[in-house]
Every structure is written in structure tokens, then in C-alpha cells.
Structure 1
């Protein structure tokens, strides 16, 4: 009988540890991060964009080539902005006739100026 009770206690203890490690015992606790000046500036950045209507055969590369950025930007930076402006295109290609937003540059708020 002791072995059965001890086994049940061990199983319950293991289950509690598993739940605590996977879901956490403080899942509802709010942990605030210190906001630095750079982090605030990153959130205030808004891309300057134009809206274009796609045609048959358009790709992201061809649209970027037709409408170059106003400021020097790497392709990954511009692509990230493109997907922020057009989140529905992350898993599909542009459809002919669809209006999409092409990022041209960043507009930075005056609060970020140093």
C-alpha cells in the first residue's frame, strides 16, 4: 500500500513540475523592460511609402527596382518594411491588380533627434 501511495505522490509531483516548467507559475505576471531612448525611437519610426497597383509578372524585386528607395537601404531592411506594410504578402506572391505599399524611406520623429 505504501508503494502505491508513494508512486501516486511521485506522479503528481512530476506532473506539477512539468506544468510549472512548460506553462510557468508566473505566466500572468507582468515584467516591464526598461525603455531606452533607442528603443523608443525604433517604435516611433514610420516608413514613407507609395501605393502601387501590381500587374501580371510583378515581383517584389521588380517593384523595388522600378521604385528605388529615397535613402540608402539594404534589401533586407526594405523587405522587412515591405512585410510590415503588407503582412498579407508574407506567404503569397502579389496578385495582378492588387494595391500594395512600397517603402521608400524612414520618417523619424523629432523626439529621436540627437
Structure 2
């Protein structure tokens, strides 16, 4: 009987530790507005211009010709570029093609920024 009771206590403690490690001690407490930041990130819309590609253009040369309105790193701007032009993920720029060139983010009013 003692072995059964001891086994049940060990299983219960292991279950509580697992829940505590995966969900946290206070799973409903919100100390950091993580969901709000993610919501604001989803509501961002990039400001862009449409440009027509000519022979010899590269993404880097297009970024140099049309600088961003706000300071952005090259990887951030490249991510926006592929977000606006998903068909160019694994392709080169084709002369004569119209593409969207990101300039900055426009934040929604709901973000409070």
C-alpha cells in the first residue's frame, strides 16, 4: 500500500513540475505585453514604391538608388522586399518586371506608437 501511495505522489509531483516548466507558475499572468507586440507586428504595413527592373539591376542596387525613409538594416529591408514580392524568393530579377520596393513601415493607430 505504501508503494502505491508513494508512486502516486511521485507521479503527481512530476506532473506538477512538468506543468510548471512548460506553462509557468502563473500561466495567466501577463508581465510583458508580448501578445500586444505581436499584434502590432502583424498590423504593420510597409510603404513601398513600384519600380520597373532594367538589365543589370540587383536588389542591392535598387535599395541603393531608393534609400529607406527610416533607418533599416539590409536584412530587415530584404525581408520586407520578399514579403511584398513572394514570387521572387528563389528567382533573379527579370528586366521589364514591375516589383515593389519597400521604403518603410507604416504603423497602424492600434499599436500606440
Deviation at 1:96, TM superposition (A): 0.2
Which residue is equivalent to 1:78? 77
TM-score, scaled relative to structure 1: 0.68
CA distance in 2 between partners of 1:38 and 1:58 (Å): 36
State the SS of the aligned residue for 1:96: coil
Deviation at 1:60, TM superposition (A): 0.2
Which residue is equivalent to 1:91? 90
In structure 2, runs of 5+ residues without a counterpart are: 1-33
State the SS of the aligned residue for 2:103: strand
In structure 1, runs of 5+ residues without a counterpart are: 1-34
Residues 16-46 of structure 1, C-alpha deviations (whole Å, 9 max, x = no match): xxxxxxxxxxxxxxxxxxx711011010000
Deviation at 1:106, TM superposition (A): 0.2
Query: What are the within-5 Å matches in structure 2 for residues 27-106 of structure 1?
Result: 36-106=35-105
CA distance in 1 between partners of 2:89 and 2:57 (Å): 15
